[in-house]
Amino acid sequence: MNNRLKVGVLISGNGTNLQSLIDAAKQVNFPAEIALVISNNPNAFGLSRASKANIPIQVIDHNTFEDREAFDRAIDTALKKVGCKMICLAGFMRVLSAQFVDSWPMKIINIHPSLLPSFKGINAQKQAIEAGVQISGCSIHFVTSQLDSGPIIAQVAIPVLNGDTPTSLSARILEHENKVYPIALETVVNKLLCLNPSSKSINQSETTDSLLSIY
Ligand code: GAR
């Protein structure tokens, strides 16, 4: 497809969600292309996944910046240099500054391993087990300056089983994350959603139709 939207993907680790986006973007009708993968972690395996797919990579190590704003500025510059119009956070374990987030309004999406608004922040799967919930899941949402609180694009509910550990629950959730993230990105790009940051959800039918085709 011509005129695909250029997307930057930010990672910190293994990059299975990045891989699912890479695979989806190989489809001729997928409306986005991954123009750059940035990792704050020089050892992130996701960097190898991107290189293997001939996608440009850049390590922007937060340890080498004097503050969060300077780190965020470096990310901003790198993304704009290659013409990115949207950002996907895929296991990116740094909190972006309000200044950065506000300068990409409704252009950043994130995947989080819980049914938001439950279990925000780190170790969401451990939080779910400790809370004793029987259902958890994953959420894809727009990023606003409030942590894990922007409008929700898609969610999948996944059971917490007896004897689950954070590791076993994480693996079960991740399997579904990998299926849903490309669908959410495709939906957002195709519909060119224009949302008010105070919205709590997008029109559900858009993502539900796509999700029903795989569940
Ligand atoms: C995923 O479970 C993702 O939801 C989570 O990190 C993992 C990254 O896996 N992200 C967060 O917890 C963000 N708060 P991956 O590197 O294999 O895509």
Is the dihedral angle over the CA atoms 194, 197, 198, 203 positive or is it negative? positive
In a domain, 18, yes or no: yes
In a domain, 21, yes or no: yes
Residue 174 has pLDDT above 80, yes or no: yes
Confidence of residue 191 (pLDDT cuts 50, 70, 90): confident
Q: What is the tally of structural domains in the chain?
A: 1
Percentage of the chain exceeding pLDDT 90: 86
Cis link prior to 117 (omega < 30° from 0)?
yes
- The pLDDT, as a whole number, for residue 202 is 55
In a domain, 215, yes or no: no
What's 171's domain CATH number?
3.40.50.170
113 CA → ligand 1 middle, Å: 7
Question: Ligand 1 — pocket residues by CB below 6 A?
Answer: 13-17, 46, 90-91, 111-113, 124, 174, 177
Cα torsion through 98, 48, 138, 83, rounded to 10: 40
Ligand 1 atom 16: the closest Cα is on which residue? 15
Residue 47 to residue 113: CA distance in whole angstroms? 21
Query: Which range among 32-41, 43-52, 186-195 shows the weakest confidence by mean pLDDT?
Result: 186-195
In a domain, 48, yes or no: yes
Confidence of residue 195 (pLDDT cuts 50, 70, 90): very low
Structural domain boundaries enclosing 123 = 5-201
In a domain, 212, yes or no: no
The CA-based angle 9-14-19, given to 5 degrees, is 55
- The pLDDT, as a whole number, for residue 190 is 85
pLDDT digits (tens, 9 = 90+) for 45-103: 999 999 999 999 999 999 999 999 999 999 999 999 999 999 999 999 999 999 999 99
| Number of other residues whose CB lies within 10 A of the CB of residue 44 | 24
Which residue type does 33 have?
E
In a domain, 211, yes or no: no
| Pair 118, 175: CB distance under 8 Å | no
CB-count exposure of residue 21 (10 Å: 0-12, 13-18, 19+): buried
In a domain, 105, yes or no: yes
In a domain, 147, yes or no: yes
Residue 95 to residue 31: CA distance in whole angstroms? 27
More confident position, 168 or 29: 168
